[in-house]
Structure 1
Amino acid sequence: MDTPEPSGLKIPKLPDLKFPKLAVDRRKAFTAAGAAVAAIAVLLVGGMLAMSYNEAQQVAAFESHVAASEADLFLVYDKTSAHMRTPTNDLSVAECDAHMREFAAIARYGGDVTAYHRQIVAADAVPEAYAGAQSAYVRALDNLNRAFSLWLSASGAYDVRDYRAADRNIGEADSAWRAYAAAIADYDRELRAAEEGTEVPPA
């Protein structure tokens, strides 16, 4: 059985939808657009200046930390080289023991100094152009710290009369020292390239 059509119901018509016309004066539009472009330009220039200032501050802090590290390490190096130049052929056993204890103290101090400065330099925020220099200097401090650690181990081995271990540690310390010198050379190349804005020259 068919369902009867409901009576008296009419589908309402949708009202005419008219989009409002945008009455914009052309001169005002150009003026507003120009002001917006100028504002964006000011923001961009200001942002670039702020970025440049921040990067300059980062570089200054990094170079200051490296300089402080070099100053402290120079004192350690001076003590180390003076100690190593001391002739030991004519020393008595007791004097040799005292000599090695002094060397152990220098090595321990050198390890503390390198670890301290390594932590500071590695924590520096630097511009991307200086990342290579920072990495090379941190690597240099790691190698120097290893050299001091091995010298300290050599002193300990000597103290227990394990001369073979002492010689082995001294040989490994020499290798670590050479690695330190190579990393410093890398740092110098990376730093020069960053300052001049050029490619890093080959080693």
Structure 2
Amino acid sequence: MTDRITELLKFESEAVKNIPLQTSFEEAINIIFEQVQVKGGKLVTSGMGKAGQIAHNMATTFSSTGTPAAFMHPSEAQHGDLGLLQKNDVLLLISNSGKTREIVELIDLARYLIPTIPIIVITGQKNSFLANEANATIWTGNPGEICPLGLSPTTSTTVMNVIGNILVVLMMEKIKFSSMDYAKRHHGGYLGDKSRTQAKGK
């Protein structure tokens, strides 16, 4: 069992190390900065299934670190939630296949509402439909899954989550987000106490 766990850990870590270095990271940050920090819009993330859970996590982490963001379920968007979108917003869509039906449809709906809305895509298929429709596409490297069936999103979601963390950190650095800034947004629990302590020490 120990050997198998070691093997799985190595597989996952190798997938993270092999995320391609690409200019699209900078392109995505510049788009988010322009739309949210300069123009006063917000980041709206979306994805289906496990990718949707990653998208939801990204939205909450961006929001707590100075970049207003919200998650929009792509199916619920077809039943009124699309109204969340406003002028100057930016869409960040996650789809490993790059052809998830609900996400493809969301692009059409969003552009019908706001024709100029910029779109960022995180995908495992760099020549996919979604990748070709995006203003910036971040490619995961399309790692194989550690799932013994090769089906359940496992390694792919690990990589997506890491990419999300990288985007958050890059944006925090770009806007010079401080402990005091964090404390103003995170009042409760251990992190709230820690951020206030750090802010007072500076």
TM range (shorter): under 0.3
Return the TM-score normalized by structure 2.
Answer: 0.23
Return the TM-score normalized by structure 1.
Answer: 0.23
Q: Could you say which structure has the greater relative contact order, defined with CA pairs below 8 angstroms and 6 or more residues apart?
A: 2
Structure number with bigger Rg: 1
Bigger proportion of residues as helix: 1
Bigger proportion of residues as strand: 2
